[in-house]
Amino acid sequence: MGTSTSEGLTQQLIEHLNGLDFITRIDVVGSRVEQTSDAYSDVDLLLTIKDVTPNIALFEVTESVKARFQPAWYDFANSLMPEKFLVSTFIGGDNPFTFYDVGILNNDKNLVYDKTQFENDQWIHLMKLWVMNFKYMMRDAPQFEKRFATMMEKANISHYSDYKTGFFHLLLKLKDKKTIESGYLNMLEEAFRNS
């Protein structure tokens, strides 16, 4: 899994977001700045905005990124809203784990927003959980076992002999769904087989 294309794509995404008039600042945060990134690290961007509320900004950002980059997938982090409005998206490259988390902090405790604007496709959301849990497994993260079990329950998969078999069963299930780009799933399968 290379990093060559990810740096160029990151620059393209930042340049595109800088062109949106309600964005005043874009910070790269997280492991990429803290020098703790690895082959499974995503790219975290934090936006500072003006003149619009965070929910409107995130909706406009998502629609703009969809139009410009035709991402393989995007998924809203509904569990974080409204404290942080965040969308994860994969816009390309040769590493399926290098997706972008684009977030906007919300300081308005009274913000009322239209939750229907941030609904996720259930299979894309499961695929993102697959990606996140695969990262946790490869990193021996302490939260892996609990999150893996939750993911498999959501996928309605109860029969698997070990974690890798469970990951493979869910990947096969995801490959049956037409909402997920096959090229991206093929990259995940290659990463899985090489792990």
- Express each pLDDT in 119-131 by its tens digit: 999 999 999 999 9
Residue 4 has pLDDT above 60, yes or no: no
The length of the chain, given as a count of residues:
195
Mean pLDDT for the chain? Answer: 94
Same domain, 88 and 152: no
Same domain, 29 and 104: yes
Same domain, 55 and 134: no
Domain of 141, in residue numbers: 122-193
**Among 90, 118, 146, where does a domain finish?**
118
Q: List the structure tokens of 63.
A: 């629609």
Span 69-83, mean pLDDT? Answer: 96
Same domain, 20 and 109: yes
Same domain, 80 and 175: no
**Among 87, 118, 149, where does a domain finish?**
118
Q: What's the domain count of the chain?
A: 2
Same domain, 62 and 90: yes
Residue 1 has pLDDT above 80, yes or no: no
Domain of residue 109, CATH code: 3.30.460.10
Query: Using the 8-state DSSP alphabet, how is residue 18 labeled?
Result: H
Same domain, 85 and 133: no
- pLDDT band, residue 53 (cuts 50/70/90): very high
pLDDT value, residue 18? 97
Same domain, 22 and 51: yes
10 Å Cβ neighbour count for 191? Answer: 18
Same domain, 146 and 172: yes
Same domain, 53 and 127: no
**Among 89, 118, 147, where does a domain finish?**
118
Residue 2 has pLDDT above 80, yes or no: no
E-state strands within the chain: 23-29, 43-49, 73-76, 84-90, 100-105
Nearest to 40, CA basis, from 148, 170, 194:
194
Residue 96 has pLDDT above 70, yes or no: yes
Same domain, 29 and 98: yes
Q: To 10 degrees, what angle do helices 163-175 and 122-138 make?
A: 150
Residue found under tokens 């991206």 = 184
pLDDT value, residue 34? 79
Same domain, 110 and 158: no
pLDDT value, residue 30? 87
Residue 76 has pLDDT above 70, yes or no: yes
DSSP H or E run through 190: helix 182-193
